[in-house]
C-alpha cells in the first residue's frame, strides 16, 4: 500500500542547491504531462498566523523550455506533508507544474511579502523575501502511460470547436459521467470535514444529508497499490472512482464550496467562518483524489459555488475574498489534465433566488479565471432549468471571449436535442463556438432513476431523449443528476452502482461515436429523413448516421450523396458490434427507404450508412 500517489516506485526526488543557495525539492516522475512539484523553504508560520501565509505572501514560479513559458502560482503547504501529518504549521511553499514539452526546463521563483499581495497582479508589489530568485533546471522525458490515463493524452483544451481536444494525441473528447452527488467532497476521511447545516434553515429542496459520505459500498473497489492517507483512510472514495472508471465514464461533477447551500459540508477554508485561510491538510487530501482521477481518465468538473451562496463572497463581485478563493483553487488544482471550471450551479437570477450575480459579475468571474489560470482550462456557467431564465442569461453571454460553453440544466429532458442545436448554432453565429454539455436534467426531484425503480423507470427515455439527443445534435456529452426524491440521491448518493445500467447506456453511446464516427467533422442534418422524430448526423457524401428513438419505417433523402454505401445497425440499449439489417447496401442519388432493424423493432436503433471505397 502506498501512502501518497507521488511516493511510488517511479517517484523521482531531486534536492538541489540552486544558484541562489536555496534548497529546492523537485518531486515527480519528471515526464511530459506528469505533475512535477517544487517545494521551497520559506518562513516558519501557521494557517492562522499574522502575517497571513495565504494573503500576505505570493509565490510565482516561471518555467521555460525554449519557446514554452508558464507563470505558475504557488501556495502554502504547512510542513509539506499535511495530507499525512494533518499539520497546520510549517515553512513549506509549493508549486505544481505540468510540463508540456520534453527536454530541459528552467525555473525561477518570485517570492514576495506584502499586505494582501497574494491577489496583486503587480510583479513589483511587496518586498522580495526568503527564496525569492531561486532558480534551477530539471529534465523531462516522454510519458510512458497509455490507455485511459490522461497523462498519455495530454492536457484537455478548448480549441474553438464543438469538442474539447487532448493536446498530445489530438483525440476529441465526449463526456459521460456523474453529476451526483454534488457534495462528492463531503467525505468522512477528509480532515476537518463536517456537516454544519440546520435543517430548518436549508434553502434548497434536496433531501437532508446530516452525515458525511462514507461510500462504503465502494470499499470493495479499492485495489492494492491505490492511494490512501493517514494509515488507510480514503479507500472508499478511491474505490468509488475506480468503479466509475471501470464503466468507462470520464467525468465527475462536484462543488468546492457549499456554505449556505444545500449540503453545508464542503469548503476549502480552515474553518466554517473564515474566508481568507485555507485547510492545508484537507486540500492536500483532495489533491490525492484528484491525481487518482487523472490516472483513471476522469475529468474534474469543479463547481465553484451554488445558487444560495453566489453572493457570499464580496456580494458577487470579483473582490478580495473571491479572487483569493479562485487563486487558491487555480494554484493547487489547475495543473490537472482535464478540468471544467464551472462558475456556479444555477447561477444568476430567478424568481426563487432573486439575490444573484448579474451578467457583469458572471463575466468578471470567467475573465479572472481565464487570465489567471496558466493552462487556460475549459470554462462554463450552469444556469436554471426554466427556459425563461436560462435563455435570458445565455443570450447575454453569447460571444463573450472568455466563456467556452454553457453547463446546461433542462427542466424538460425532451428539449435536449432542440436546446443543444440552438446553442451550438447561436454561439457560432456570435463568434465564439460553445461546447454544449447536458449536466442536469429534470424534474429536479427525479433526475435519472436508480436501476431498481420498478414503476415507470425513466432510464430508457433518458437514453433516447437526452444522451443520444445531445450527441446527435453535435453536443459534447452528459453527466447524470440523481434528483432528491430517489434513493442514492443528489446529496445522499453512497453507491454509483445504483445507476449501473445508465453507465452502460452511456458507454455504448460514447463507444459508438469514438469508434465509428469522425464526429468532429460531422454536422446535424435532421431534415434528411421524413420522420420528424429521427436525429441525423452527417459527413458530406461520406457518412450518414440516423438515430431512431423508436423504429418506424422511414425514408432518407440521398440525392446529394453519390456512390455506393453500406448499411449497418447499432443497438444503443445493448451495445456490441455493428449488425446487418434486411438491406446491407444502397446507392446514392435518390430517396431510399431505411431497412428493417436486425433485432427488437420496439426499441431505439442506430442506422450507419457509410460510403464504400
Sheet holding 12-17, edge to edge: 12-17, 23-28, 36-46, 89-97, 75-76
Q: How many domains does the chain fold into?
A: 3
- pLDDT tens profile 159-198: 999 999 999 999 999 999 999 999 999 999 999 999 997 6
> Going by C-beta distance under 8 Å and a sequence separation of 6 or more, which residues neighbour residue 274?
none
Whether residue 140 is found in the same domain as residue 181: no
Distance between CA 48 and CA 391 in Å, rounded?
A: 44
Q: Quick one: the chain helix, strand, coil %, rounded to 5?
A: 25, 25, 50
Candidates 226, 229, 256, 228; CA nearest to 243 is 226
pTM equals: 0.95
Q: What is the pLDDT of residue 264?
A: 96
Do 603 and 539 fall within a single domain?
yes
Task: Say if residue 448 is in the same domain as residue 509.
Answer: yes
Say whether both 44 and 86 belong to one domain: yes
Residues 545 and 441 in one domain: no
CATH of the domain at 281: 3.20.20.80
Q: In the prediction, which pLDDT does 595 show?
A: 79
Query: Is the separation of the CB atoms in 451 and 499 below 8 Å?
Result: yes
**The pLDDT of residue 314:** 98
Based on the fold, state whether residues 460 and 540 are members of the same structural domain. Answer: no
Instruction: Kindly list the distances between the CA atom of residue 232 and the CA atoms of 4, 190, 358, in Å, as whole numbers in the listed order.
Output: 11, 12, 45
6 within domain boundaries: no
End-to-end, the C-alpha distance of the chain in Å comes to: 53
Q: Look at residue 353 and tell me if it is in a domain.
A: yes
Question: Last residue of a domain, which of 483, 515, 547?
Answer: 515
How confident is the model at residue 129, as a pLDDT?
Answer: 98
DSSP one-letter string for 132-191:
TT-EEEEEEBPP---TT-GGGT--EE--SSSSEEETTT--EE-EEEE---TTTT-BTTST
Q: How far is CA 14 from CA 24, 30, 138, 497, in A?
A: 8, 10, 9, 42
Does one domain contain both 381 and 245? yes
**Strand, coil or helix: 246:** helix
Q: What is the pLDDT of residue 552?
A: 82
Where does a domain end: 515, 533, 557? Answer: 515
510 located within any domain: yes
pLDDT for the residue 554: 84
Q: What is the pLDDT of residue 13?
A: 47
**Does 344 reside within a domain?**
yes
Residue 298 DSSP SS3: coil
**At how many degrees (to 10) do helices 235-246 and 280-296 cross?**
20
Q: Give the strand pairing for 591-593 and 555-557.
A: antiparallel
Q: What parts of the chain have a pLDDT lower than 70?
A: 1-21, 198-210
Instruction: Give the containing element (helix H, strand E) for 416.
Output: helix 416-429
pLDDT in tens, 317-338: 999 999 999 999 999 999 999 9
Strands (E), 358-419: 378-382, 405-410
Phi, psi of 576 (to 5 degrees): 95, -160
Does one domain contain both 135 and 180? no
* 246, 196: one domain: yes
C-alpha cell at 314: 464580496
The pLDDT, as a whole number, for residue 1 is: 37
**CATH number where 528 lies:** 2.60.40
Query: Would 120 be classed as within a structural domain?
Result: yes
Domain boundary residue, one of 484, 515, 546: 515
Tell me: do 186 and 52 sit in the same domain: no
Query: Both 280 and 197 in a single domain?
Result: yes
Cell 482550462 sits at which residue?
Answer: 377
* 153 domain residue, yes or no: no
Contact between 335 and 74 (Cβ < 8 Å): no
The C-alpha atoms of residue 333 and residue 423 are separated, in whole angstroms, by 29
- Residue 282, domain member (yes or no): yes
- CATH of residue 113's domain is 2.60.40.10
Q: What is the DSSP string of 461-513?
A: HHIIIIIIHHHHTT--EEEE---SSSSS-TTT---GGGGHHHHHHHHHHHHHH
Q: Give the residue numbers spanning the domain of 229.
A: 176-515
Residue 534 lies in a domain: yes
Residues 306 and 200 in one domain: yes
Q: What is residue 110's predicted lDDT score, i.e. its pLDDT?
A: 98
Amino acid at each position: 500500500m502506498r501512502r501518497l500517489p507521488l511516493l511510488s516506485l517511479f517517484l523521482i526526488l531531486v534536492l538541489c542547491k540552486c544558484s541562489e543557495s536555496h534548497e529546492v525539492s523537485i518531486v515527480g516522475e519528471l515526464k511530459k504531462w506528469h505533475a512535477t512539484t517544487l517545494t521551497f523553504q520559506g518562513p516558519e508560520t501557521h494557517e492562522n498566523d499574522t502575517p497571513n501565509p495565504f494573503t500576505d505572501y505570493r509565490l510565482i514560479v516561471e518555467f521555460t523550455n525554449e519557446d514554452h513559458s508558464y507563470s505558475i502560482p504557488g501556495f502554502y503547504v504547512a510542513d509539506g506533508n499535511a495530507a499525512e501529518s494533518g499539520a497546520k504549521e510549517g515553512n513549506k511553499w509549493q508549486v505544481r507544474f505540468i510540463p508540456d514539452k520534453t527536454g530541459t526546463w528552467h525555473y525561477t521563483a518570485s517570492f514576495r511579502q506584502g499586505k494582501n499581495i497574494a491577489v496583486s497582479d503587480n510583479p513589483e508589489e511587496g518586498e522580495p523575501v526568503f527564496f525569492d530568485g531561486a532558480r534551477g533546471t530539471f529534465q523531462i522525458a516522454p510519458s510512458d502511460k497509455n490507455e485511459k490515463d490522461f497523462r498519455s493524452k495530454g492536457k484537455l483544451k478548448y480549441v474553438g470547436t464543438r469538442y474539447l481536444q487532448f493536446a498530445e494525441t489530438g483525440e476529441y473528447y465526449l463526456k459521460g459521467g456523474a453529476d451526483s452527488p454534488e457534495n462528492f467532497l463531503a467525505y468522512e476521511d477528509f480532515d476537518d470535514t463536517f456537516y454544519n447545516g440546520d435543517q430548518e434553515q436549508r434553502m434548497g429542496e434536496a433531501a437532508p444529508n446530516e452525515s458525511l459520505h462514507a461510500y462504503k459500498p465502494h470499499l470493495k473497489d479499492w485495489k492494492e497499490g491505490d492511494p490512501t492517507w493517514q494509515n488507510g483512510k480514503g479507500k472508499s472514495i478511491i474505490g468509488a472512482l475506480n468503479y466509475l472508471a471501470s464503466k468507462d465514464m470520464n467525468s465527475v461533477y462536484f462543488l468546492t464550496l457549499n456554505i449556505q447551500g444545500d449540503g453545508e459540508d464542503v469548503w476549502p477554508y480552515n474553518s466554517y467562518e473564515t474566508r481568507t485561510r485555507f485547510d492545508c491538510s484537507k486540500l492536500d487530501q483532495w489533491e490525492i483524489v484528484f491525481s487518482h482521477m487523472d490516472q483513471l481518465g476522469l475529468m474534474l468538473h469543479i463547481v465553484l459555488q451554488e445558487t444560495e451562496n453566489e453572493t457570499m463572497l464580496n456580494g458577487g463581485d470579483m473582490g478580495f475574498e473571491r479572487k483569493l478563493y479562485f487563486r487558491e483553487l487555480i494554484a493547487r488544482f489547475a495543473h490537472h489534465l482535464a478540468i471544467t471550471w464551472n462558475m456556479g450551479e444555477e447561477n444568476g437570477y430567478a424568481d426563487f433566488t432573486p439575490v444573484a450575480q448579474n451578467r457583469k459579475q458572471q463575466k468578471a468571474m470567467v475573465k479572472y479565471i481565464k487570465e489567471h489560470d496558466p493552462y487556460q482550462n475549459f470554462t462554463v456557467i450552469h444556469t436554471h432549468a426554466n427556459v425563461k431564465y436560462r435563455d435570458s442569461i445565455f443570450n447575454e453571454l453569447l460571444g463573450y471571449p472568455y466563456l467556452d460553453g454553457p453547463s446546461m440544466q433542462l427542466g424538460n429532458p425532451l428539449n435536449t436535442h432542440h436546446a443543444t442545436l440552438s446553442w451550438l448554432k447561436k454561439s457560432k453565429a456570435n463568434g465564439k463556438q460553445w461546447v454544449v454539455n447536458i449536466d442536469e436534467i429534470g424534474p429536479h426531484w427525479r433526475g435519472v432513476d436508480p436501476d431498481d425503480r420498478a414503476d415507470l423507470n425513466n432510464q430508457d427515455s433518458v437514453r433516447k431523449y437526452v444522451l443520444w439527443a445531445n450527441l446527435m445534435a453535435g453536443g459534447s456529452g452528459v453527466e447524470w443528476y440523481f434528483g432528491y426524491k430517489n434513493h442514492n440521491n443528489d446529496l445522499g448518493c453512497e453507491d454509483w452502482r445504483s445507476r449501473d445500467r445508465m453507465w452502460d447506456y452511456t458507454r455504448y453511446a460514447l463507444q459508438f461515436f469514438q469508434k465509428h464516427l469522425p464526429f468532429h467533422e460531422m454536422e446535424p442534418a435532421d431534415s434528411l429523413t421524413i420522420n420528424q422524430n429521427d436525429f441525423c448526423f452527417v459527413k458530406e457524401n461520406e457518412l450518414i448516421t440516423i438515430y431512431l428513438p423508436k423504429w418506424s419505417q422511414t425514408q432518407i433523402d440521398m440525392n446529394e450523396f453519390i456512390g455506393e454505401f453500406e448499411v449497418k445497425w447499432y443497438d444503443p440499449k445493448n451495445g456490441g458490434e455493428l449488425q446487418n439489417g434486411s438491406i446491407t447496401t444502397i446507392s446514392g442519388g435518390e430517396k431510399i427507404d431505411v431497412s428493417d432493424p436486425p433485432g427488437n423493432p420496439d426499441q431505439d436503433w442506430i442506422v450507419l450508412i457509410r460510403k464504400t471505397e
